[in-house]
Chain A
Amino acid sequence: MNHFPEAWGRPRNDVYGVYDASHLQSSMPNQHTQSPIVTGTSVVALKFNGGVVIAADNLASYGSLARFTDIERLKQVGTHTIVGAGGDISDMQYLHEKLLDPLIIKEEYQNDGHHLRASHIYRYLSKVLYHRRSKFNPLWNTLLVAGWDDGKPFLASADLLGTTFSAPALSTGYGAQLAVPLLRRICPDEAAVENITREQAVAAVEECMKVLFYRDARSLSKYSLAIITREDVESAEGETKERVNIEWKKDIELQNQSWKFAEGIRGYGAQVV
């Protein structure tokens, strides 16, 4: 024994060598999600006169492996809203199953005829995302919230940093590079929405899904599309009330694909020259 109490009861270094404490604690800080694992790619959405159309393919990739081909990345939340998610699929499932589903159930307890509208869902989600990034433990998603709010179509995005953004034409992921410029051709600003018909909007989004399948290696030719519109319903008291109508198209297969353009691509792939 010596006069260093901290050494008492420990193996003596001069006899056994310095104790290797590396297994006892890590010098690394607490680790949170630093990268997504199973991921979904773009979500594309566009406003039109009287509604919003939103689409996302059914693929969940594991790295570059096309792991799951039947994943629904658009989900209805309450009566007025569709949330489309790109990024980590398990974080998306957490958002829906642990946060949004119970939220909607609790909200409906009141039975007072009021429902959470798209802007309310959007505000809630963006707060959750910002809160999580502030804990350095982000939910690794980019979300598009599409729906109906206060008599107008609603479309906005929120990402894993808590950044919020709204525009009449939006996309997440690779689509933000490829689809948004295409959509902006017919919808450069909010004022242009008035002149876009539902058919034009759906066709534009379908075209974007095709372009994305051509150029995005993490995409699939099978996708879902939802169209949110409003109809006026006459109530018993004679007043007109708005009812939000959500029309789903699932398992859509891309039509009329043409891969001719691929022959002109140089710089990677199988060609020798």
Chain B
Amino acid sequence: MPSSTSIGTGYDLSNSVFSPDGRNFQVEYATKAVENGGTAIGIRCKDGVVLAVEKLIGSKLLVPGSNKRIASVDNHIGIACSGLIPDARHFTSRARTEASNWRKLYRSPIPISSMADAMGGYAQLYTLYSSVRPFGVTAIIGGMDEAGGPGLWMVEPSGVGWGYFGAATGRGRQAAKAELEKLPLPNITVEEAVKQAARIIYFAHDDNSKDKDFELEMTWVRLEKGSAEGLGEGVSAKGWGKHEEVPKELVAEAERLAKESMEGGGDEEMEE
């Protein structure tokens, strides 16, 4: 973050202007916007990917389940966003265009790494010109493809994007990252990851925005049920999975376990 001395020096007023010590403050402010958003995490498993978001509820009048934060892109990719919601909507709409163009050109679904590449490039364009501002969004892109199996990428407002076994962004990212690091990734199944993701979101919520209401939103991409059986350590399933919401009953069970572990004080539940 710019130190108090650098604010008001004029170097933070525009993209396309570096500060004398080589920073782009607009990008750093965009990152700040993300840090205030609800926590979003992604877990890469051997048979798929799980995305989860802590959706902070601004009003009790909102219909439960409305205003989704995880979007489907093509059949096999999901994007979970943290940060400014309108920016996220535009970002995912662009991702859909990329996926559709890829299909027209190559007659096959876009690989996850290529999607991350394309979206990283798109985000970076918004750091170059004084006429635009960077995306106030960090996007976790998860899916499955035939080349690499499960893929999980996180694209930041600067345009940088890395591949992850476990990714976290938003307000509770520090707590979430600490918990993700304890998991034996990527050698867990999607079913296990669903429970862990729910627990981590509850944990991060408790840590950072306890006073606010939230809904847990969870999706996965995976091959058909049972595809993880027979896969050894470090071996992952390959093929196009479908991105869809985790079935309600599994979410309910995962939330029950998450709440239980919160009351129990956290870490005992870890191993299961």
Contacts and interface: CB of A to CB of B under 8 A. Distances in A.
9 contacts: A97-B107, A101-B103, A105-B74, A108-B75, A109-B96, A111-B72, A236-B248, A236-B249, A236-B252
Nearest to A108: B72
Per DSSP, chain B at the interface is: mixed
Given A105-B75, A109-B71, A235-B249, 18 more contacts: A97-B107, A101-B103, A105-B74, A108-B72, A108-B75, A109-B72, A109-B96, A111-B68, A111-B72, A111-B219, A111-B244, A111-B245, A235-B248, A236-B247, A236-B248, A236-B249, A236-B252, A237-B248
Interface in B145-187: none
Q: Which of A101, A109, A237 has the most CB of B within 10 A?
A: A109
A234 to B, nearest CB: 10
Q: Which of A101, A105, A235 has the most CB of B within 10 A?
A: A105
A102 interface: yes
A109 B95 CA distance: 12
B186 to A, nearest CB: 25
Contacts of A101: 103
B100 interface: yes
A111 B220 CA distance: 12
A102 B100 contact: yes
Contacts of A237: 248
Contacts, number: 24
Interface in B50-89: 68, 71-72, 74-75
Interface in A100-114: 101-102, 105, 108-109, 111
Interface string A81-104: 000000000000000010001100
Interface of B: 68, 71-72, 74-75, 96, 100, 103, 107, 219, 244-245, 247-249, 252
Contacts of B75: 105, 108
Contacts of A235: 248-249
Nearest to A101: B103
A101 B219 CA distance: 22
A75 B109 CA distance: 18
Nearest to A234: B249
A254 B72 CA distance: 42
Q: Which of A101, A102, A236 has the most CB of B within 10 A?
A: A236
Contacts of A105: 74-75, 100
B268 to A, nearest CB: 26
A236 B256 CA distance: 14
B71 to A, nearest CB: 7
Nearest to B71: A109
A105 B71 CA distance: 12
A97 B105 CA distance: 12
Contacts of B252: 236
A1 B64 CA distance: 85
Q: Give me the 4 closest cross-chain CB pairs, A-B, nearest first.
A: A236-B249, A109-B72, A236-B248, A111-B72
A237 B247 CA distance: 11
A246 B133 CA distance: 49
Contacts of A102: 100, 103
Nearest to A97: B107
A205 B203 CA distance: 58
B110 to A, nearest CB: 12
Contacts of B72: 108-109, 111
Contacts of A109: 71-72, 96
A40 B78 CA distance: 38
